Amino acid sequence: MKIQESAENYLETILMLQERKAHVRSIDIVNELDFSKPSVSIAMKNLRENGYILMDKDGYITLTKAGQKIAETMYERHLFLSQWLVRLGVEQQTAVHDACRIEHVISAESFEAIKRHVESS
């Protein structure tokens, strides 16, 4: 199932925050992405309704299996593409920015082909 780029970004952000801290709440996402509280609140509601996250009574967010899978896919692409672009000579900040854009539009087939090529070089 294809989801919107913004949803992929939110899921990836939740995963990254979970790696840094024990519990993630909407305010952590607001601070990380510098988005408004209402925007994040709406996004969390949509992610919850679509089965990508769970939110407990205290507002703590966890990824469902489906959400975790998408988040891990995006994060793997982000890290790999960022590092690859830096190795090609792209400035770090530009590489990270570009990787963030590429990770959402590249097909699984093309990403795997790039990965195989880089790893065999």
Sign of the CA dihedral with 51 first, then 56, 59, and 61 last: negative
Return the pLDDT at 1. 47
Q: Round to whole Å and give the CA distance between 54 and 89.
A: 40
The single-letter code of the amino acid at 45 is K
Domains, the chain, with CATH or none: 5-69 (1.10.10.10), 73-120 (1.10.60.10)
Residues 99 and 85: beta-carbon distance below 8 Å: yes
Q: Are 25 and 10 in contact (CB under 8 A)?
A: no
Q: Look at residue 48 in the predicted model and tell me its pLDDT.
A: 96
Q: Give the number of other Cβ atoms within 10 Å of residue 34's Cβ.
A: 6
Picking from 108, 4, 17, 107, the residue whose alpha carbon sits closest to that of residue 50 is 4
pTM score, whole prediction = 0.89
pLDDT value at residue 3: 79
Amino acid at 24: V
Specify the pLDDT at position 2.
57
pLDDT in tens, the chain (121 residues): 457 889 999 999 999 999 999 899 999 999 999 999 999 999 999 999 999 999 999 999 999 999 999 999 999 999 999 999 999 999 999 999 999 999 999 999 999 999 999 999 8
Q: Which of 107, 105, 98, 12 is nearest to 63 (CA)?
A: 12
